[in-house]
Amino acid sequence: MSKPKVAFYWCASCGGCEEAVVDLAEVVLDVVEAVDIAFWPVALDFKVSDVEALADGELAAAFINGAIRTSEQQEMVELLRRKAGAVVAFGACAWLGGIPGLANLSSRESILEFVYRGSPSVQNGDGGVPQELIDVPEGRMTLPHFDETVRTLDQVIDVDYYLPGCPPPCGLIAGAVMALVEGRLPEKGSVLAPDVALCAECSRAATKPEDLKLKSFKRPYEVIADPELCLLAQGLVCLGPATRSGCGAVCIAANMPCTGCMGPTSRVIDYGAKALSAIASLVESEDEDEIAVLAGQIADPVGTFYRYSLPASLLHRRVEPARVSEGTAS
Amino acid sequence: MSEDASKPFEPKIVAFFCNWCTYTAADLAGISRMQYAPNVRAIRLMCSGRVDPQFVLAALSEGADGVLIGGCHPGDCHYQEGNHNARRRFELLRLMLRDMGIEDERLRLEWISASEGDKVQKVCNEMTEQIRALGPLRLATVPRWSADGDHDRAAELVKQVTS
Amino acid sequence: MLEPEGGLTSQPISTNGGPRIGVYVCHCGLNIAGKVDIQAVVEFASTLPNVAVARDYKFMCSDPGQELIERDLRDGLVNRVVVASCSPLMHEATFRKATAKGGTSPFYFQMASIREHVSWVTVDNDDATAKAKALVAGAVRRVALHEYLEPRQASVRPDVMIVGGGIAGIHAALTMADAGKHVYLVERESTIGGHMAKFDKTFPTLDCAACILTPKMSAVRAHPNITLWTYADVVSVEGFTGDFTVRVRHRPRYVREDLCTGCLACIDACVHKQAKIPAEFDEGLGKRKPIYIPFPQATPPVVVVDPEACIWFKTGKCPRPCIEACERDAFDFEQTETFEEVKVGAIILATGFKTFDAAKMPEYGYGVYPNVYTSLEVERLLNAAGPTSGEVVLRGGGKPKVVGIIHCVGSRDAKHNLWCSKVCCMYSLKLAHMVKERTGAEVYNFYIDMRTPGKGYEEFYDKILKEGVHMVRGRVAGVTDEAASLEEEGRLVIRAEDTLIGSVRRIPVDMVILAVGVEPQPDAQDVRRLFNISCGGEGFFTERHPKLAPVSTFTDGVFLAGACQGPKDIPETVAQAGAAAAEVLAMVDRGAVVLEASTAFIDDAACSGCKTCVGLCPFGAIGFDDERKKASVNEVVCKGCGICVGACPSGAAQQHLFTDAEIFSEIEGVLEYV
């Protein structure tokens, strides 16, 4: 019996998810034995035409990482969706938008303007900006369309499963692949990680007081954190309480607070809002002015609470101001 | 969300009122026949401390142009500390929403005691006017993919939290 | 322990096929119908998901109106109910009952307020109709997700404990004992009576404190329903409202309480021929022996041996004539402290107050000049059973010819206590009267404001004025023995600005009485932790609501009476004690506490042990299991505020009737359409 075929593909991503597969180390041999990788641009020399030549559904699964920002990415994931029995959104970017998702705080124009013209380190003679279509002596050249908004994978195609993490922990990757191969996958739409927050796994949980109250928030560079004590109790914004476990709390083991890459539990619909609520509830003050000051100590709240999940949030992206010409009475 | 171009913009404001003070004050406004803008739709909670920032975002993403949270004055909370928690969450949420381009006037926290029916009237009228001047909230609509293209967002939200 | 009450609910109606919602729109006469297009709302409601039936009626709260609901439920047409009418604060209970009568959970019900929130406050009819539709949509969406909840109760144990045997504790104990309840009255000292037992006369009537107090003290001792434990204190409290387990420590008197008759022969027989130990009850002015009784009417009338002073305990060598003198053979020098556990349904704290330590104000010379006294010391001097048999005799000997009484010592003072202690003006006037009466001295009262608000208090003030007591309005700067004139030689001088005449005065006196203020007991923080209540900023116990719930606390089942909650005089103390007794009686007689329906609950599997919720609960209702690393909500104590639910970062905590899903769906509903 032939081995199930799988594909790995990357969209708006950093390559870390690819490395995570490689990080399986010797386990990758088990993976390679269990499945046939039919498409993996970073590592193997298959072409898009090879994928197009497959029958619909011939791939057992497509593991797609990265968020969707360009028309090329959209076309590729739509292609893989047709050809795959199951699509797994691999990593925080595919599930929630990831760090690329923070681009949703800017507009397409401002990004292009900054990168190609405005950045202090750019020298761009005629100030040209990439065009989707340009005719040059050699012929017509095209570039994919660069979307206004970063989207998650399931905002573009139907997704069957989600593997969280930035990148997903090796154990979860191996588990997901084996579950697929052995036909053991849970119900469609599931996130393939424990549905309980990180504190359950964290070795420092016992040191967290039951009535924690914070008078100030610190950033990691401002303190030398005690390696035995709960980081939140030390005033660092650790999002462990709001974030899924399954990663072994490796960041905490490195004495760094959790930044939320494993995403929310199934009971939460907006990660950033819930994480914010938990952190805010710890503020020790009843005075309105003091509370405002303490809240202000959290640098860049969007970046802190929606670091990996802005496109998936209820607001998706920064709001444009209402256009004056529409709708107002006078 | 399509709007009839000939109709002027009417803000939709969702309010979360605490049972003991603000909801009661709204009742008092009713009993006293104080007339105010119909744009505010109140949802009753036992305490402003129940207000989860997810509610605020859900309201904004479902079509509200503004959200009002009403609770007891500090020191008067029926449950002693709920309103303080509301304040703490509100302050941080306001800063975050500001960075998301949402004007401060769209999210408001008011302490309204059970005897302040007139304050309910005043705040509802004021907030409606302010948001009317600001215009509708221009949220990006990025629907989740669904098989029939037309999705029931409520069913989704709900399915996600009921296990 | 949680027994679902039978009564209101019967077998659940099967929800085959899912929710079938009945929407009932009330006209409320013309109150709603005059503004809102009822038919349009009914038609709209019938288009909403899961709505099986949509009706309207003139007065839904009436019997026929409720009957509409009950009948539709019984006929199986609907299994959930939405009523669009007045405010839920008005009729939610009414319609929940109707829903229950129809045969299902009373909580399969939601109300939309289209009167107080719509018809009565909206100008334009179309706007009103649109808003009504929105609120109905919210209610319909929401009720589809309601859980099948049953009203729950927890039983209340019939016995009651009162901690503190002053006038507050005594009055509460007698009230409840007379009502047939078994009361444990626990008092730390060897006798009940509290501060009041030390006074001579009480304002404004000048009745003798002992005359009004001692009959009550005897009644306590004699009452078959009161178990009086003196020389005892509480060491731990477990459990929660209706079911407390209290551990009490009995300290050893070395005399058997059940045998001693209070004949006091042992005191006479003691090897200490003279009383030399400063008597605590007499504020150190009198002396006692190592074996003593605090005052003649001590209740119980049982002596106490002080092991720090008794020669037998200190050296092991004493012939102990006390043992022989005792005809009842009541001595037991082998006694040790013992512990006892009792289970009670409610607890009243009546632990009283302490007076401000006047030594903290060295400018007034307390502890420096022998003839500077606190008010409590003077009470003992004036008391006929006190160290001077009721004569006002100075420490240095002789009687005073001029007395100065300084108000507000330690009170209304940014350096000490900010509050007004409420009773000092009145007792200072009383002391002025009594000292003048006993000694004929000139009396000066130095006050900031004269606070005499109670019944008969202003009249009392008038009386004292008419007796020729001198009133100087000004805060006393200091008391000194440095004479500035011949007249001041050998006397104490009070310096104060007399603000009414605008000049600084020096008034030579023989005796200074400091009207010390009222403070929380020194161990108030320890006590409040023991009982899981809180203290306010000043240190008095915190009441649930200063106006509407002054005798209860945020901990269900623990009540307050008397000065432990804040400075107050005897009439108020007794009134408050009666109030606390009444609330306890209501609880105990009902036999059950109705639990909040909208309690929080934590999904055990989902809980990560992050502890975010635990410290947020104002009522201490969330417990944490350190071994399993899980939090859980005590549904008996939970009051249903939802603070923990809003904060839970992983959605493991939810609130019955206010789950996230229910609220999200309500938000959807009210925004459903333009």
Picking from C281, C304, C325, the residue at the C-terminal end of a domain is C325
Are residues C280 and C366 located together in one domain of the fold?
no
| pLDDT value at A278 more than 80 | yes
Per-residue 3-state assignment (H helix, E strand, C coil) for A17-61: HHHHHHCCCCHHHHHHHHCEEEECCCCCCCCHHHHHHCCCCCEEE
Asked if residue C145 and residue C12 are part of one domain, the reply reads: yes
Q: Considering only CB atoms, which chain C residues are within 8 Å of B35? A: 121-123
Residue of C nearest to B37 (CA): C122
Please give the interface size between A and C, counted as residue pairs whose CB atoms are below 8 Å apart: 86
**Higher model confidence: residue C635 or residue C381?**
C381
Quote the pLDDT of residue C596.
79
Nearest-by-Cβ selection for A267 from C615, C647, C651 = C651
CATH number for the domain harbouring residue C450: 3.50.50.60
Residue C35 shares a structural domain with residue C136: yes
pLDDT at C544: 82
* Same domain for C143 and C25: yes
Which pairing describes strands C442-447 and C402-409: parallel, antiparallel, or unpaired?
parallel
pLDDT value for B160: 64
**Which DSSP category does A172 fall into?**
H
- Give contacts of C607 with chain A, Cβ < 8 Å: 196
pLDDT at position C672, please?
Answer: 81
Can you give the three-state secondary structure of C454-518, one letter per residue? CCCHHHHHHHHHHCCCEEEECCEEEEECCCCCHHHCCCEEEEEEECCCCEEEEEEECEEEEEECE
Q: How many Cα atoms within 13 Å fall on the side-chain side of residue A152?
A: 30
CATH number for the domain harbouring residue C89: 3.40.50
DSSP string, B80-106: SSHHHHHHHHHHHHHHHHHHTT--GGG
- The answer to whether residues C364 and C286 belong to one domain is no
Rg of chain B in Å (alpha carbons): 17
With respect to CATH, is domain B13-137 assigned 3.40.50? yes
Please tell me which of the candidates A274, A280, A316 has its beta carbon nearest to residue B54: A274
pLDDT of residue C87: 93
Do C302 and C399 reside in the same domain of the chain? Answer: no
Mean pLDDT confidence for B133-158: 66
Tokens 């099986």 found at: C52
* CB atoms closer than 10 angstroms to residue B144: 15
pLDDT at C594: 77
DSSP H helical ranges for C261-310: 265-269
Beta-carbon separation of B91 and A292 below 8 A: yes
Amino acid at site A147: D
Instruction: Give whole-number Cα distances, C164 to C173, C208, C230, C337, C541, in Å.
Output: 10, 22, 9, 19, 14
- The two structure tokens encoding residue C85: 């009418």
Q: What DSSP element (H or E) covers A251?
A: helix A250-253
pLDDT (0 to 100) of residue B149: 44
Q: What is the C-alpha separation between C539 and C525, in angstroms, rounded?
A: 7
- Report pLDDT for A321: 66
Residue with tokens 């090879």: A50
Enumerate the β-bridge partners of residue A10.
A65
Q: Give yes or no for residue B126 having a pLDDT over 60.
A: yes
User: What's the mean pLDDT in C363-390?
Assistant: 95
Burial class (CB in 10 A: 0-12, 13-18, 19+), C75: exposed
d(CA C173, CA C347): 11
**Cβ <8 Å between A320 and B101:** yes
* Cis peptide, bond prior to residue A241, ω within 30 of zero: no
Domain of residue C281 covers: 265-325
Q: What is the pLDDT of residue A322?
A: 57
Residue A1's pLDDT is 59
- Name the band, by pLDDT with cuts 50, 70 and 90, for residue C3: very low
Region C419-425: mean pLDDT is 97
- Residue range(s) in chain A whose domain bears CATH number 3.40.50.700: 5-100+148-181
Contact partners, residue A195, CB within 8 Å, separation at least 6: A244, A265, A266, A267, C606
Mutate to test the interface with C, among A191, A203, A212 (most CBs of C within 10 A): A212
Would you state the pLDDT for residue B78? Answer: 78
Q: Determine the pLDDT at residue A327.
A: 38
Contacts of A199 (CB under 8 A, 6+ apart): A205, A208, A240, A241, A245, C608, C609, C610, C611, C629
Which ipTM score applies to this complex?
A: 0.92
Distance CA C94, CA C106 (A): 10
Q: What is the pLDDT of residues C448-506, one digit of tens each?
A: 999 999 999 999 999 999 999 999 999 999 999 999 999 899 999 999 999 999 999 99
- Flag the least confident range among B5-19, C534-548, C621-635, C642-656: C534-548
Return the CATH number of the domain spanning residue range A5-100+148-181: 3.40.50.700
The answer to whether residue A117 scores a pLDDT higher than 50 is yes
Type and span of the H or E element at A275? helix A271-280
Is C281 found in the same domain as C412? no
Residue C301 shares a structural domain with residue C388: no
CB proximity B78 to C under 8 Å? yes
Q: According to the model, what pLDDT value does residue C238 have?
A: 87
Q: What mean pLDDT value characterizes chain C?
A: 93
pLDDT of res. C673? 63
In the numeric block, the tokens 């009122």 are attached to B17
pLDDT tens, residue by residue, B45-92:
999 999 999 999 999 999 999 999 999 988 778 788 899 999 999 999
What pLDDT was estimated at residue C595? 79
As a whole number, mean pLDDT of residues A227-243 equals: 96
Tens of pLDDT, residue by residue over A145-159, are 999 999 999 999 999
pLDDT at A160: 96
Q: Do residue C117 and residue B42 have CB atoms under 8 angstroms apart? A: yes
Query: Pick the residue with more confidence: A311 or A27?
Result: A311
User: CB–CB of B47 and C145 under 8 A?
Assistant: no
C370 and C483 housed in the same domain: yes
All structural domains of chain B with their residue ranges: 13-137
Average pLDDT over residues C273-287: 94
Q: Domain count for chain C, please give it.
A: 4
Up-side HSE of residue B65: CA atoms within 13 Å toward CB? Answer: 23
| Subunits adjacent to chain C (3 or more Cβ pairs under 8 Å) | A, B
Neighbours of chain A (3+ CB pairs under 8 A): B, C
Asked if B54 lies within 8 A of A269 by C-beta distance, the reply is yes
C-alpha neighbours within 13 Å on the C-beta side of residue B26: 38
Quote the DSSP letter at residue A197: B
Q: Is A298 helix (H, G, I), strand (E, B) or coil?
A: coil
Q: Nearest-CA distance from A297 to chain B in Å? A: 10
Burial, B36: exposed, middle or buried (Cβ in 10 Å; 0-12, 13-18, 19+)?
A: buried
Total residues belonging to chain C: 674
Residues of B in Cβ contact (< 8 Å) with A283: 88, 92
Instruction: Kindly determine whether residue B26 and residue C117, on different chains, have CB atoms separated by under 8 Å.
Output: yes
Q: Please give the share of chain C, as a percent, with pLDDT higher than 70.
A: 97
CB contact under 8 A, C660 and B80: no
Element (H, E) at C600: strand C600-602
Instruction: Give me the sheet containing B40-45, strands edge to edge.
Output: B40-45, B13-18, B66-71, B107-111
Q: How confident is the model at residue C2 (pLDDT cuts 50, 70, 90)?
A: very low
Q: Are C447 and C428 in contact (CB under 8 A)?
A: yes
Residues C4-19, mean pLDDT to the nearest whole number: 47
DSSP string, A84-136: EEEEEEESHHHHH-TGGGGGGGS-HHHHHHIIIIISTT---TT-----SEEEE
